[in-house]
Amino acid sequence: NPQEALVVMAALVAVMLITLACLLLAEPLMRLMGAKFEGALTRLLGVVLAALAAQFVVDGIKQSFAIG
């Protein structure tokens, strides 16, 4: 369906533009936030990433052994 393809392409372009804006604003934003906030944010995102990884492992084990 050409209309669906157009919607997908528009969404892709929108995501690319948002990503470009984030990359261009990253350095000024990090200077504004400061080193302490950057460190705290890095640690917080590390905890979130570890929690997601642990959940993926648990879900994989459940699916592999048909538990729950």
Torsion, CA 32, CA 17, CA 45, CA 51, rounded to 10? 170
pLDDT of residue 67: 85
Q: Token pair of 32, please?
A: 């504004």
pLDDT of residue 50: 99
Q: Could you list the mean pLDDT of each consecutive 10-residue stretch along the chain, which spans 68 residues?
A: 96 98 94 93 98 98 89
pLDDT of residue 58: 96
